[in-house]
Chains A and B, each alone.
Chain A
């Protein structure tokens, strides 16, 4: 009994350390890889607790390995946007201008009930009132009501110094026009941590250092 108690304390400390090592991101909404790690850790941690035959060291090794891999993976995801897309997926628009996209719903295996539940949780009871509903990579649904804005939701055009060509094109930027816009503020693409823009010409530019720039679009 006492051995089990000591083992429990050791594993408790290690699991707490592991969760802390993963960071605060873990404690909020879970990304797919984080969900997998959380399930695996909770299963692996019980093995040396239930079976005194298993040395604590062999129980601790997979826990720490999994958490370290997750931390390294999250760092790689931050560094390489293409990897982020592969591992976490990308947000999908299920309602655009009050029109539900059944193809996206089918692709996400999202039922009408799921959608209605998500909308109701955002205090929206009529899909016709929704300008945009976007299923985020963690499975939550972001809703933009029709009356809050007449335009499209802003797109991320530059993320951590990397231009996202599809989003830039959607917001009406060519390579040159984007460079010219940034030059007005003495910035290169590499100096920008985050830039969002919408089709009305509005933009938000957060440089790596210094104050953010807010550009008002037409009708804003």
Chain B
């Protein structure tokens, strides 16, 4: 009976950890996506300096998320985002079209990471 109890306990811990990790990644990525959308809006409004500042904050936020995310998510899913968020502020300060394209790509990749951690039918299969 001890084995059954230990197994149920482990399964409960794993289920809670999986749920928490999924919600954490999803929540943090959603926050990043909102930040990207804010930066895009600022860029469309021609407020390049404010957009660069917002992009810099995005880079910092990603660095903070990255530290914990590497424990929960496979490295290969983070490397592209690392490249995307590195120097995002300088890209936003440069050519507007290129900056918007970069932000668009970054938003898509971040949303993909978030979706991959939520057990939807599409993510499972």
Residue of B4, B7, B18, B74 contacting most chain A CB atoms (<10 Å): B7
Tell me the chain B residues, 1-26 only, with Cβ under 8 Å from chain A: 3-4, 6-8, 10-11, 14, 17-18
Known: A61-B18, A64-B14, A65-B14. A72 touches B7 (CB 8 A): yes
Q: Report whether B8 and A61 are in contact in the complex, using a CB–CB cutoff of 8 Å.
A: no
Q: Are A72 and B4 touching (Cβ within 8 A)?
A: yes
Residue from the list A53, A54, A61 in contact with B14, Cβ < 8 A: A61
Which residues of the partner chain B approach A69 to less than 8 Å between Cβ atoms?
11
B-side contacts of A21, CB under 8 Å: 3, 6-7
> Is A57 part of the binding interface, using a Cβ–Cβ cutoff of 8 Å?
yes
Segment at the interface with A among B55-63, B65-73, B108-116: B65-73
Q: Which residues of B contact A64 (CB under 8 A)?
A: 10, 14
Interface residues on B, range: 10 to 19
Q: Decide: A53 and B10 in contact? CB cutoff 8 A.
A: no
User: Once bound together, how far apart are the Cα atoms of A52 and B75, in whole Å?
Assistant: 8
Please give me the residue from chain A that is nearest to B71 by CB atom: A55
Contact A68 B75, beta carbon cutoff 8 Å? no
- Residues of B contacting A23 in the complex (Cβ-Cβ under 8 angstroms): 3
Check if B121 is an interface residue, CB within 8 A of chain A: no
B45: Cβ under 8 A from any A Cβ: no
A148 at the interface (CB under 8 A from B): no
How far apart are the CA atoms of A68 and B7 in the complex, in Å?
5
Say whether B10 contacts A68, CB under 8 Å.
yes
Please tell me if A125 contacts chain B, counting CB pairs below 8 Å.
no
Q: Does A58 contact B (CB under 8 A)?
A: yes
> What 1/0 flags go to B77-111 for Cβ under 8 Å of A?
00000000000000000000000000000000000
Q: Which residues of A contact B8 (CB under 8 A)?
A: 68, 72
- Beta-carbon contact of A57 and B7 below 8 Å: no
Q: How near does chain B come to A20, taking the closest CB pair, in angstroms?
A: 9
Interface residue ranges, A against B (CB under 8 Å): 21, 23, 52-55, 57-58, 61, 64-65, 67-69, 71-72, 75
26 contacts between A and B (CB under 8 A): A21-B3, A21-B6, A21-B7, A23-B3, A54-B75, A55-B71, A55-B73, A55-B75, A57-B17, A57-B71, A58-B72, A58-B74, A61-B14, A64-B10, A64-B14, A65-B11, A67-B7, A68-B7, A68-B10, A69-B11, A71-B3, A71-B6, A72-B4, A72-B7, A72-B11, A75-B4
The 5 A-B residue pairs whose C-beta atoms are closest, nearest first, are: A53-B75, A68-B7, A71-B7, A68-B11, A68-B10
